[in-house]
Amino acid sequence: DLKINDSLTISGPGTIVATNTPANRIYSDNGSHLTHAAGHTIRGSMQLGANLMSITNNGLIEGVGSQGLIIDTDGNGFDNNNLVRATSSASVTISDTAFDNSGATIQAQDNSNVSISGSTILSGTLTSEGTGFMSFTGSELNSVTNNASLRLPNNNSDVLRNTFINNATLSMNSI
């Protein structure tokens, strides 16, 4: 575990790398705020936030490994100003998070996926490459541009609000 106390900025050209287990966590126990600066990378499989802190991302947050990366912030949410992506057959799960993606991108690269669950995505762009895809369950997309293969699984109710610019495919998979 990497525990954040008070408000913290992580900067520099380095990388925080987590092994392939969801037991890795970056979190706080006192409602702190993490600012992830431009030029820095957080990469691997982990729980980011653990429903205990808010995050501002100005760098690269990258899910790598079969166990995936879970973003689950406290009630103050996640401000993405750069890139959150799943790569190398990995997944990124955005869970129960108010996710401000204004001017930024959430990406599923080839053979990877991003799952948006119980969250609101405000603005920005969703993208996927090759066989990469995104799914959303119990979530809201508000003023989003979709350049991704976006899937709505069976037995789910999701919301599109304000504008939805669909440049790719949204698949509704009810049975």
CA distance 50 to 172: 30
Contact 156, 138 (CB under 8 A): yes
* Contact between 123 and 146 (Cβ < 8 Å): no
> Could you write out the DSSP letters of every residue in 70-117?
EE---TT-EEESSEEEE-TT-EEEEES-EEE-TT-EEEE-TT-EEEEE
Q: How far apart are CA 57 and CA 16, in angstroms?
A: 14
Other beta carbons within 10 angstroms of residue 30's beta carbon come to 10
pLDDT at 27 over 80: yes
What pLDDT is recorded for position 88? Answer: 82
Q: What is the mean pLDDT of residues 18-41?
A: 94
**What tokens appear for 41 in the block?**
């990378």
pLDDT tens, position by position, 3-13: 998 889 999 99
pLDDT for 175 equals 59
pLDDT digit string, tens, across residues 37-75: 999 999 999 999 999 999 999 999 999 999 999 999 998
Report the C-alpha gap between 126 and 8 in whole angstroms. 28
pLDDT, position 85:
97
pLDDT digit string, tens, across residues 92-121: 999 999 999 999 999 999 999 999 999 999
